[in-house]
Structure 1
């Protein structure tokens, strides 16, 4: 699939992907990643999108509400959408604990169940990047944003820590579906501009760094992500009983974490922040 072409993806393929992705993200404990590793990232996106009282906001790939809940606490009328009902249920509990009121809806980023122009702000915080058909998902983000409204996205860059992690996982992971594009491409400004094309204006893109202070060393990072992060869990499951390959991956992930650990015990995870206006 080219960056500028919107091609119909077969319904049976989309349904197969939905089933697999729901299982991947329901495995482990992604809310622990959101709460313990990247807790501030959603609020950064909400601020960048200038979300305020009365705004109609859609969070795509919302997970457990890392961006949705800060948007609701800012006074917006928020819908949090995600493929995984388990993550949405965790989000409901988090929202109740924080006094946030919002709607939670199961939805696929490739086919959002909302009317054209239904929202003032449509955003995604390291969420839509995992929808494998990028052009289809980008078209949906724009479609449900009103003319003059805001589209905002945060994605891990290919050259940053998480991009390197996915490159490390790739030789051990199951093959992607036909036509799928790698998630970290959403962290490349040129790619995102091509996806949105002339459907948006006033594109502002900035590479930023998130300081992560959760891990004492690379092994601690590896063990945490093996227990909590769906794509990592799926990769190890794909290896099955191949202990030698699993040991290779263990070593590679620990080495990755050690390379990025700074003297002060923190890492910096690079991401691309994009904000654009619906034409």
Structure 2
């Protein structure tokens, strides 16, 4: 059975805002220049390979889908934002990866029950607003005995702190929307999946980021390339004092995480499990 999306006006409006936010800036550059290694790390952890049918949920430009396809797996990449899918198609073509790109909501995936051997999400499904609904869908489309694997930014790590910082500069989220970095807590993920998933591994590791010379360069890149940050600055467009404050805060955050020569470590949770039933 394929679950139909919530058709309430409030939900449609929320998803439209999410779609528009991730189309802002240049997320393909973030994926390819800042965190290119994350997708391959997840694919390896899930032991993806030939003969498997794989779904990358909230795939963006295919950070996990493309390396999964290059292992010989049959891969579908699903995302809410059409411009990211178009960028992913072009990137996959350049890398010689065969991927089936589909528009779809992580909270109402357009696939039948048990369709995939492996269901992946690399810093993607964590941004779906309703965590329980997204978790339910990851389980539903995975076959019994299949693998679910995710990389999610942790609440305590750099990206978790980035979202905590931006919270002071953006409108409050709609009722019922949960913070994305909660997905980086193993306890939260365990609560979402319960006994529907077994043989769980949950490891905190870090992406080594050496793209930025200093905090100011990080700030300037993210304020023009990363959708949530671009949206925060647009919200403040008529308030130059708060724009200046956000400028200082973003550069300061990156400076505090600089381990020398512009190198940062961004903590993430690498989580895998096997669907029961």
Q: TM class, shorter-chain normalised?
A: over 0.9
The count of corresponding residues between Structure 1 and Structure 2 is 272
1:40 is aligned to 2:15? no
Q: CA deviation at 1:10?
A: 6.4
Gaps of 5+ in 2: none
Per the alignment, residue 20 of structure 1 pairs with 17
Which stretch has the larger CA shift, 212-221 or 259-268?
259-268
Residues 188-203 of structure 1: pairs in structure 2 closer than 5 A: 188-203=185-200
1:226 is aligned to 2:223? yes
Per the alignment, residue 57 of structure 1 pairs with 54
Query: What is the alpha-carbon distance in structure 2 between the residues aligned to residue 133 and residue 226 of structure 1?
Result: 26
Residues 1-279 of structure 1: pairs in structure 2 closer than 5 A: 11-279=8-276
Encode CA deviations 1:91-131: one digit per residue, 9 max, x unaligned.
00000000011100000001001000000000100000000
Encode CA deviations 1:29-53: one digit per residue, 9 max, x unaligned.
0000001000010000000110000
Q: CA deviation at 1:9?
A: 6.1
Per the alignment, residue 4 of structure 1 pairs with none
* Contact 2:106 2:125 (C-alpha < 8 Å) held by counterparts: yes
Query: What is the alpha-carbon distance in structure 2 between the residues aligned to residue 219 and residue 13 of structure 1?
Result: 37
Query: What is the alpha-carbon distance in structure 2 between the residues aligned to residue 157 and residue 165 of structure 1?
Result: 11
| Gap change, CA 1:249 and 1:30, over 3 Å in 2 | same
Q: CA deviation at 1:12?
A: 2.1
Query: What is the alpha-carbon distance in structure 1 between the residues aligned to residue 262 and residue 216 of structure 2?
Result: 13
Query: What is the alpha-carbon distance in structure 1 between the residues aligned to residue 34 and residue 171 of structure 2?
Result: 26
Q: CA deviation at 1:89?
A: 0.3
Query: What is the alpha-carbon distance in structure 2 between the residues aligned to residue 173 and residue 208 of structure 1?
Result: 29
Encode CA deviations 1:33-91: one digit per residue, 9 max, x unaligned.
00100001000000011000011000001000111000000000000000010000000
Gaps of 5+ in 1: 1-7
Please state whether the residue corresponding to 2:13 is helix, strand or coil: helix
Please state whether the residue corresponding to 2:54 is helix, strand or coil: strand
Encode CA deviations 1:115-167: one digit per residue, 9 max, x unaligned.
00000000100000000100000000000000000000110001000001001
| Gap change, CA 1:9 and 1:190, over 3 Å in 2 | farther
The ranges of structure 1 where at least 4 consecutive aligned residues each deviate by more than 6 angstroms after the TM superposition are none
- TM-score, normalising length from structure 2? 0.96
Query: What is the alpha-carbon distance in structure 2 between the residues aligned to residue 127 and residue 12 of structure 1?
Result: 24
Q: CA deviation at 1:265?
A: 2.6
